[in-house]
Structure 1
Amino acid sequence: MQQYFVKGEAISPVTIEDKDTIKHMFQVMRLAKGDQVVLVFDDGVKRLARVVNEAEYCFELLEDLPDQVELPVEVTIACGFPKGDKLEFLAQKTTELGASQLWAFPADWSVVKWDSKKLVKKVEKLQKIALGAAEQSKRNRVPEVTLFTHQADFLATLDSFDRILIAYEESAKEGERSALVEVLSSLSNGEKILFIFGPEGGLSPDEVAQFERKGGRKVGLGPRIMRAETAPLYALTSVSILRELM
């Protein structure tokens, strides 16, 4: 059954206003009176809904659904600006794997440079990708995408997290293999976790030192060195295995 995210409160009847959602519902999927879909509102609760007037894009809410697929901890993925379309890839895949937020910042060794105007357009594109991935993977919430113009702005947010984990290439090279499991195994449900990843060139020693002063802890991600777009997926998978499947 198709699932859609709808802004606002769950008050029946519901009129869909977002143009992209309307297009997909009534042109692509050809919904008609009596057809049922799942609607998810700002409260993250899934609700079964039925079309009552396709001409006015109107639905009635039938019942709340118990389906809850969010991770038991809130995971934010933060990456140094990578090259090419890697952020688009990460917006889709981190959403499918359960991230609550996707952030990116201008790291010391980031090759790409984006001004504030480009960042605004980039965020809009990435947010649409996250929305589509959240619908496809039947999420209860759509991850928020934030791109920081300055590294200092990113640093200022770190105090809002319960745990900060720095995916550091040198830790992996040195054979560190226990910190990630130790931290993830000790989490309590509801904690806010931040994973920080570097761009293609990794994180600079100065950056790592700044993150550590904010309470960050260096962790290795296994014995192999991963690409910038692969490491966040490994981290989210580890969270799911240790917090959901065990």
Structure 2
Amino acid sequence: MQRYFVAPEELAGDRVRITGDDAHHLVKVMRAEPGEEIICSNGLDREVLARIASVDRNLVEAQVVSELPMDREAGVEVWIAQSLPKGDKLETVIQKCTELGADRFLPFVSERTVVQYDEKKEGKRLERWRKIAKEAAEQAHRNRIPDIGQPVSWKQLLKLLPEADLSLICYEKESGLSFRPLLAEARSRGPEGRRPRILVLVGPEGGLTEKEVSEAVQAGCHSVSLGRRILRTETAAMAALGCIMYEYGEMGG
């Protein structure tokens, strides 16, 4: 069944309005007709089963049939801090990590970041990243769309680390510390009243410098290994996230 995120004001009472690209997808791609059922979520606190009432080129209206539980999100909140990689690698990270359950993406610029950060072009890139996250969240039947922030500097990123209950920096030269014991400890002392928040920090293609790793550790990050094999930057975040979700019982029990 097709699933769509709509703005909170478009899911009011017992009516749903779907506009823009989603309406076009329903009408032109899915050939939707009145009477068909879809799932709609406001991305915050409400998800419904709705029956299409009318179809127009730029607008689909539906009637709410029933309320659905908001139970698709993980029991752990994971932030992915990813140094800007070349090409469309960040798009892959956003898509796959959204499917796996990431809650927030923090792109950043580090010393060895190859990509030239262009603030003028960043608006369009950010719009595309958010679209990819939305579509991946719909495909994965999630209740919420991950937040994607504007790229920040290394120093700005370090200031965000204390917001997490546990911060992990994936470092290829780390040989002694596995993050499994850290996850077990974090899970046992989870915060009261909210999900535990774990931040995963991944460097660029050329890796983080020893100075950056040292600064991150001083800021509260734990330097951890992802094993004896060297992973690509776009693989590291997915591997770490998969391990976290497994440890928290989010991979099938």
Question: Do both proteins adopt the same fold according to a TM-score greater than 0.5, normalized to the shorter chain?
Answer: yes
Partner of 1:57: 60
Does residue 224 of structure 1 match 2:250? no
Deviation at 1:45, TM superposition (A): 3.6
Deviation at 1:67, TM superposition (A): 5.8
CA distance in 1 between partners of 2:32 and 2:206 (Å): 48
Does residue 136 of structure 1 match 2:139? yes
Q: Would you say the 8 A contact 1:48–1:63 is kept in 2?
A: yes
Query: Secondary structure in 2 aligned to 1:59?
Result: strand
Q: How is 1:1-246 mapped onto 2 (pairs within 5 angstroms)? A: 1-9=1-9, 10-11=11-12, 12-17=14-19, 19-55=20-56, 56-66=59-69, 68-171=71-174, 174=175, 176=176, 178=178, 180-186=179-185, 187=187, 188=190, 190-244=195-249, 245=251
Deviation at 1:53, TM superposition (A): 1.7
Q: Would you say the 8 A contact 2:43–2:143 is kept in 1?
A: no
CA distance in 1 between partners of 2:150 and 2:232 (Å): 20
Report the residue type matching 2:8 in the other structure.
G
Q: Would you say the 8 A contact 2:98–2:137 is kept in 1?
A: yes
CA distance in 1 between partners of 2:217 and 2:122 (Å): 27
Q: Would you say the 8 A contact 2:45–2:70 is kept in 1?
A: no
Deviation at 1:102, TM superposition (A): 1.6
Query: Tell me, which stretches of 5 or more residues in structure 1 are unaligned?
Result: none
Q: Between the two proteins, what is the percent identity of the paired residues?
A: 37
Runs of 4+ in structure 1 deviating by more than 4 angstroms, as ranges, are: none
Q: Would you say the 8 A contact 1:168–1:220 is kept in 2?
A: yes
CA distance in 1 between partners of 2:24 and 2:93 (Å): 26
Query: Is the deviation greater in 204-213 or in 219-228?
Result: 204-213
Deviation at 1:177, TM superposition (A): 5.2
CA distance in 2 between partners of 1:42 and 1:81 (Å): 27
Q: Would you say the 8 A contact 2:107–2:152 is kept in 1?
A: no
Query: Secondary structure in 2 aligned to 1:218?
Result: strand
Report the residue type matching 2:115 in the other structure.
V
CA distance in 2 between partners of 1:223 and 1:177 (Å): 12
Deviations 1:117-148 (A, max 9, x none): 12221111111111111111111111111232
CA distance in 2 between partners of 1:228 and 1:155 (Å): 19
Query: Secondary structure in 2 aligned to 1:170?
Result: coil
CA distance in 1 between partners of 2:184 and 2:131 (Å): 33
Query: Secondary structure in 1 aligned to 2:248?
Result: helix
CA distance in 2 between partners of 1:158 and 1:149 (Å): 13
Q: Would you say the 8 A contact 2:171–2:223 is kept in 1?
A: yes
TM-score, normalization by structure 1: 0.92
CA distance in 1 between partners of 2:8 and 2:130 (Å): 17
